Amino acid sequence: MQRRHFLGATPAALGAALGVPNALHAATTAGGSAMTWSGPRAIAPMRASVDRIVDVSVCTRPFRAQGPRIESEQRYGKTIVHHYGHGGSGWSLSWGSARVAMGLVLPHRPRHLAVIGSGAIGLTTARVAQRAGLRVRIYCKDRPPEVRSSAATGLWTPDSRICSSVAMPAGFAQRWETMARSSFKTYQSLLGLPGEPVEWRDGYALSDTPFDQPLPPDDDGEPDYPELSARLADIHPTSQPLAADEHPFRAPHVRRFTTMTFNIASYQRLLMDDFLREGGEIETREFFHPREFGTLREAVVVNCTGYGARALLGDDSVIPVRGQTARLVPQPEVDYLVAYRGHNLVAVPRRDGILVATQEAHDFGNAETGMDRSVSERAVERLGALFA
């Protein structure tokens, strides 16, 4: 496949891993003439060394080839709205996706709503329902920070592993755009808050070969993903090529881009605090079969169980895509991302540390959540070498 998912073969695909595909693509295919920058800026080096790794986490993305499942059914005496399978885009798309799900809830005119799950999708679904005037109770096996969503990198990546090119249903691209724009709009209202849940950051895309030169195809078992982000060109800043004396990185080709990032820890806390402050309730409960939804007090249930839906519903369309992330000691002076094309490496400056995300061959379809520290150590060493 063409590595469209992670530091891919083209500038657009590289951006796809970062949530700025159209920006990089547009700037490159337009001849990269968007050079308006008037001089080098100070770039504090990332102190990327193995001894500064304070945490390594593994998480599986809930990928569905046909895109997220957002549909309702009448079963077990309830209206059940399924809302899961957001691949590598769950945080990014969450608000818009929640609004689509709410469109299936509201016609039933419930005053009380049950939401199963408190990951990115459950929490935002609950908040959108509260804003619509509903009383919401969340039921979940785990709550933040134990949910899988807590292990996400925290980038605006609305089209990351959101569906496969081959299985993309008719009309999906338009629905996706509506969800992405709706989410993006909500995120603009979360800027500048205490704890910086959402921030805009500059980033540097590095490459050993020119960005318009494709990387060799690899054999990691991943499908081709559609390049949807070009639809968002008007809301993504463009990227710029940098000359060798305009950056400190040991890489022959460098572009600067700008993207939105999420400080997952403070953002999750904000969502949970807002939910509780508006009268939301949360109950720890594990479901082993969907017929147990029939025992709930609420007549309408939104099933936001993410990868958990695979076991709960026996839904094999949910495919795990493993990802491992190391966290380095925070460096408040580092305010930029690094993405190294062809090396499966992205480093993101969050308030709780510098996240170093890697992707390995055979992560697609891999449900293994045990971590392999040596993989992260190699990634951190690769990152450190860029500043040597």
Q: Packing angle between helix 90-105 and helix 172-188, nearest 10 degrees?
A: 110
Residue 235: HSE in the Cβ half-sphere, 13 Å Cα cutoff: 18
Three-state secondary structure along 82-95? EEECCHHHHHHHHH
Q: How far is the CB of 70 from ligand FAD (least distance, A)?
A: 12
Cβ(235)–Cβ(247) under 8 Å?
no
Q: How far is the CB of 205 from ligand FAD (least distance, A)?
A: 16
Q: How far is the CB of 287 from ligand FAD (least distance, A)?
A: 4
Q: How far apart are CA 310 and CA 84, in angstroms?
A: 10
Q: Which is nearer to ligand FAD, 81 or 242 (CB)?
A: 81
Q: Which is nearer to ligand FAD, 153 or 376 (CB)?
A: 153
Q: Which is nearer to ligand FAD, 34 or 317 (CB)?
A: 317
Q: Which is nearer to ligand FAD, 32 or 89 (CB)?
A: 89
Q: Which is nearer to ligand FAD, 151 or 296 (CB)?
A: 151
Cβ(296)–Cβ(302) under 8 Å?
no
Tokens matching residue 78: 């309830």
Q: Which is nearer to ligand FAD, 232 or 242 (CB)?
A: 232
CB atoms within 10 A of CB 183: 23
Tokens matching residue 359: 């992707």
Q: Which is nearer to ligand FAD, 11 or 154 (CB)?
A: 154
Q: How far is the CB of 226 from ligand FAD (least distance, A)?
A: 16
Alpha helix positions (H), the chain: 11-18, 21-29, 90-105, 120-131, 172-188, 264-277, 308-313, 373-385
Q: How far is the CB of 248 from ligand FAD (least distance, A)?
A: 25
Element (H, E) at 139: strand 135-140
Which residue ranges make up the site for ligand FAD (CB under 6 A)?
A: 59-62, 84, 86-92, 116-122, 140-142, 147-149, 151-155, 157, 286-287, 304-308, 312, 323, 325
Q: How far is the CB of 160 from ligand FAD (least distance, A)?
A: 6
Q: How far apart are CA 14 and CA 6, in angstroms?
A: 7
Q: How far is the CB of 158 from ligand FAD (least distance, A)?
A: 7
Cβ(92)–Cβ(177) under 8 Å?
no
